[in-house]
Structure 1
Amino acid sequence: MVRSPALPRPGALPGPRLIGAAALALALALVPVPVTAQDIAPVGDPIEVAITTGPLLPEEVLRSSALTFPSILEAFEREAAARSDQLAADGAFDLMLKGEYYDRLTGFYSGGFGKVEARQPLRPYGAEVYGSYRVSNGDFPTYENYNYTNALGEAKVGALFSLLRNRDIDSRRFAIEDTRLAAAQAQIDVMLVRLNVQHEALRAYWRWVAAGEEIRVFEELLEIAEARQIGLAREVGEGARARIALTENERNLLNRRARLEEAKRNFATAANSLAFYLRGSNGQMIVPTREQLPDLSRMNGIAPVDTLVANPMSEVIQSRPELTVFKVAIERANNRIALRRNDLQPSLNASVELSRDFGQLGPGGPGFDSTDTVVGLTFSVPLQRREARGRLQRAEAELRETELRQRRIADQITMELGNIIENLTAALKIADLAEAEVKQANAMVQAERTRFRLGAGEFFLVNQREEDAANAQVSAIRADLAGRLAEASYNAATMNLKALGLE
């Protein structure tokens, strides 16, 4: 027998088709729009003017590298990605809205229903609460009579609880805590990257300055030989001096020109290395020129060791970001162990549900015209639990590995910091000795030139004294460089953010 479709009665309640459609529309309307990670704020005003005009100071180099160096920007993006993972993990406890529509298009029975349900996971006890509304229409076969509702539909609320496994921790709550700690690690990693970049930028800067100072020394040395060549050529032409003196000075000229070219090559290499950290606001590398070399006499000297080493060594070591990373890593490992121990427990879940139909009795009869309260328990346990035990053992081994690596890194930091202090102390002493040597060498040059003018000295000794004085100046420059590098390393090791341009 073929039934004709029933027309809706005036004033009748909406049928299951309308209920289902409305539920689906509401569910779609509440779906959140995808959220994209926010971009890092602009780095500020262009800095090309500061790093391309006038003397180039270390503060300007540090500002440039802190704002534009790719590794730092990469670290910020990794942190943003970690924050996004944290947001995604929080989504495990999002409110879920579900719409359902069921109807028969053909056949003897005409039963159908529409249903809308909301579920909210909760963190305590791994619980979940839910509520639903369902309304049916038409006739259902006996084996589907549970779909009947009264005329105004059925309202239902309920809750699920975990009493053993998943009571204190489960994969969702673990993911939330783990991504929070991962975001904290990413934030610490940003600081580590910034410290390393600023440290290397400062070292590149002082190498560039030292290379420029060495060029100045060899240019002065070459100018002396060139001026002397003119005088010697005149004296040889007048017969006042043997030609061998002119030949010897020509050899000195070649030697000094070669040393100057080597110094220029070293300066060009140092300038290119500094350009790796010296960038404009668009990220393009800017190669500094000799005209930008600073006047060292106007710059601050290296601070005394006693002034630098003000805090106790233990406090400095404990504040290192690497050890903070390990503390977070150990906390993450302990959380994973807790999760694996949770997997060993049997599953015991409780449920409670309350439902009530409203309105006139439906085709289901009086059995649906009551308030029903239902409770339940489910229990399950793997008898061997080999998978859970294996995962727990792995998590415990990873924790021990992390603790041992933490101890090794702490010892390594202690050793490196001690070496930095020793290098800095020695560099300052060597710099003082080098300055004294420069004074002595210059005095010897003046004395030998005086003897030569008076006819008591030899031209070979004059050249030798000048070479010795130049070498002493180069040694003093390199000793000062060693002190600057050691100071930069100490500031990085002790997280002196102000000295590294991070405050």
Structure 2
Amino acid sequence: MKHSITKPVLIALVLFCSTNILVGQTDSLLLTYEQFLQEIYQNHPIARQINLQRDQAAQYLKKARGGFDPKVGANWDFKNFDKKNYYNILNAHLKVPIWSDIALEAGYNYANGYYLNPENKLPEAGQAYLGIKIPLLNGLWTSERRTTLQQAKLMLGASEVEIQALLNDLLYKAGKTYWDWVKVYSELLVVEESLKNAQTQFEATKRSFIEGDKPAVDTLKSFIQIQERAVLLANKRIEVQNAARLVSAYLWSDQQEPLVLQEGMYPVGLAQLAMQPLAESLLENSLSQLQQHPNILMYDFKLQNLDLERKLKVNKLLPKLDFKYNFLSTEHVDFFPVSAAAPIENYKLGLKFSMPIFIRKERADLELVKLKLKATSYQQEAKRRDLQIKVENYFNEVQNFALQTTTIESMVQNYATLLEAERIKFSIGESSVFMVNTRENQLLDAQLKLIKQQVTYLKSRTAFFWITANLEPN
């Protein structure tokens, strides 16, 4: 089952129906590859930590939107000296950003006293005002505040892609650990079977000795074979225990408590897995979809972010020319009097202009952003090429390992046939314990080689789906 990384929220991973596969499980001791990945995705601390990035990006977006929040303020100055009210000045205002640096402002001014500056004299009831501030050049189409908001929106999308990439890496590492467990567990079963066969051969040799057909030294040779298998089996049991602990390291409960595999739990058997080449169309599809790979998409977000900065730097090359108009109320604090001429009779108007003569800082900032855009674009192309080569290499490895697995499977069957023939010859006195032991060793070596080859195939297959930003349960 193949899942595409292009899905917007979740990594491409099959999540099967939740089952209790850990401590306390009663229905089965089998821990499948799919169940293992599901548990990691749901409960592993790093997986949960990675998902926090989504919340973090949402908070950055909330913070950026705060730059467009309306603001209220007030100033009050009062002076009383020598029993005289020098002045009592109050200003309360509300500022509402509506676009870039364009903002509406409403307020109320009140002033009285003996020593007021003439320009501060107001109607007795105070004066309300309603106005607008518009940057005519620098800040009209974009600004620091608007750019920050747009970048925060980009960050929200980038966080989803980064989550997918990080989860993909986590599950890939866990998958390789699972296949290591499969390898040593499969080797354990083969060695156990080999020990049983050695014991059977020993009993047959002992009977032949008792019947006078074989010398005593043959029983010793057979017994040494048992000892060698017993030592090998003990080592394999240690390897299985260690591999199981590494698998357990990825398993956590809902309460974030580390879990240990239940006694007797075992991984999927290699015989249950198909070791077949991948479809050629899969390579073509994977290469054609590289543009949707998380690592490529991350560069897309970087380029978009830098392009926003470029537009801001271009805007800063323009002079600052701010226009401000305030409509002033009459002494009745009325914004909309009967007289239609009031808005053009009672108002406050202003223009503010400033511009660096050489604008060297602004031009340098713009060139630096352009250089970053080029560098990031080059990095993206290099990453795309690197991914393409790795996809092709991993695909070729899977195809080659699948063919090798078929060859080694045939070789194991041939060694098994030789061993059976040698045992028949031994039973009729035409072979020796040495030859039987030799055939058993050859068969065991071939079986272990087959297991190694099969696991190599599975790891390579997992690596292919990892590098293509897919994680396909086998």
TM-score normalised by the chain length of structure 2: 0.86
In the alignment, does 2:352 pair up with 1:378?
A: yes
Distance 2:114 2:345 in 1: 22
Identical-residue share of aligned pairs (%): 18
- 1:92-145 deviations in whole A, cap 9, x for unaligned? 110001123232243433431333210012225x21210101233x424153x3
Moved more, 249-258 or 376-385: 249-258
Letter in 2 for 1:343: K
Moved more, 440-449 or 239-248: 239-248
- The question of whether the paired residues in 2 share the 8 Å contact of 1:51 and 1:60 is answered with no
Q: 2:388 aligns with which of 401, 408, 414?
A: 414
In the alignment, does 2:45 pair up with 1:70?
A: yes
Match of 1:127 in 2: 102
Secondary structure of 2:289's partner?
A: helix
Match of 1:51 in 2: 22
Distance 1:139 1:175 in 2: 45
Secondary structure of 1:82's partner?
A: helix
Distance change in 2, residues 1:230/1:314 (3 Å): closer
Distance 2:312 2:388 in 1: 35
Letter in 1 for 2:421: A
Distance 1:76 1:413 in 2: 25
- The question of whether the paired residues in 1 share the 8 Å contact of 2:31 and 2:268 is answered with no
Q: Give the Å deviation of 1:237.
A: 6.7
Moved more, 236-245 or 88-97: 236-245
Distance 1:70 1:166 in 2: 45
Letter in 2 for 1:457: S
Q: 1:435 aligns with which of 392, 403, 409?
A: 409
Match of 1:91 in 2: 66
In the alignment, does 2:219 pair up with 1:246?
A: yes
Larger RCO, structure (CA 8 Å, separation 6 or more): 2
- 1:215-249 deviations in whole A, cap 9, x for unaligned? 01011112222344455456657765334323333
Q: 2:431 aligns with which of 457, 465, 468?
A: 457
In the alignment, does 2:165 pair up with 1:219?
A: no
Q: Give the Å deviation of 1:276.
A: 2.6
In the alignment, does 2:253 pair up with 1:280?
A: yes
Moved more, 242-251 or 232-241: 232-241
Distance 2:302 2:321 in 1: 31
Secondary structure of 1:481's partner?
A: helix
Q: Give the Å deviation of 1:311.
A: 5.1
Q: Which 4+ runs in 1 deviate beyond 6 A?
A: none
Letter in 2 for 1:315: S
Aligned-residue RMSD, C-alpha: 2.8
Distance change in 2, residues 1:148/1:324 (3 Å): same
Q: Give the Å deviation of 1:348.
A: 1.6
Distance 2:242 2:317 in 1: 61
- 1:147-183 deviations in whole A, cap 9, x for unaligned? 3322322011121111222222221111111111122
Unaligned runs of at least 5 residues, structure 1: 1-43, 361-369
Q: 2:319 aligns with which of 346, 349, 371?
A: 346
Secondary structure of 1:383's partner?
A: coil
Secondary structure of 2:261's partner?
A: coil
Match of 2:339 in 1: none
Distance 1:311 1:140 in 2: 87
Distance change in 2, residues 1:235/1:457 (3 Å): closer
Q: Give the Å deviation of 1:91.
A: 0.7
- The question of whether the paired residues in 2 share the 8 Å contact of 1:348 and 1:380 is answered with yes
Q: Give the Å deviation of 1:251.
A: 3.4
Letter in 1 for 2:90: G
Q: 2:81 aligns with which of 72, 87, 106?
A: 106
- The question of whether the paired residues in 2 share the 8 Å contact of 1:152 and 1:357 is answered with no
Aligned pairs for 1:290-305 (under 5 A) are 291-294=264-267, 296=269, 299-302=272-275, 304-305=277-278
Letter in 1 for 2:357: L
Secondary structure of 1:103's partner?
A: strand
- 1:459-498 deviations in whole A, cap 9, x for unaligned? 111111111111222222222212222222233334446x
Match of 1:271 in 2: 244
Equivalenced residue count is 445
Distance 2:85 2:268 in 1: 97
- The question of whether the paired residues in 2 share the 8 Å contact of 1:357 and 1:371 is answered with no
Secondary structure of 1:109's partner?
A: strand
- The question of whether the paired residues in 2 share the 8 Å contact of 1:424 and 1:487 is answered with yes
Q: 2:443 aligns with which of 462, 469, 484?
A: 469
Distance 1:396 1:86 in 2: 25
Match of 1:316 in 2: 289
Secondary structure of 2:327's partner?
A: strand
- The question of whether the paired residues in 1 share the 8 Å contact of 2:58 and 2:156 is answered with yes
- The question of whether the paired residues in 1 share the 8 Å contact of 2:108 and 2:127 is answered with yes
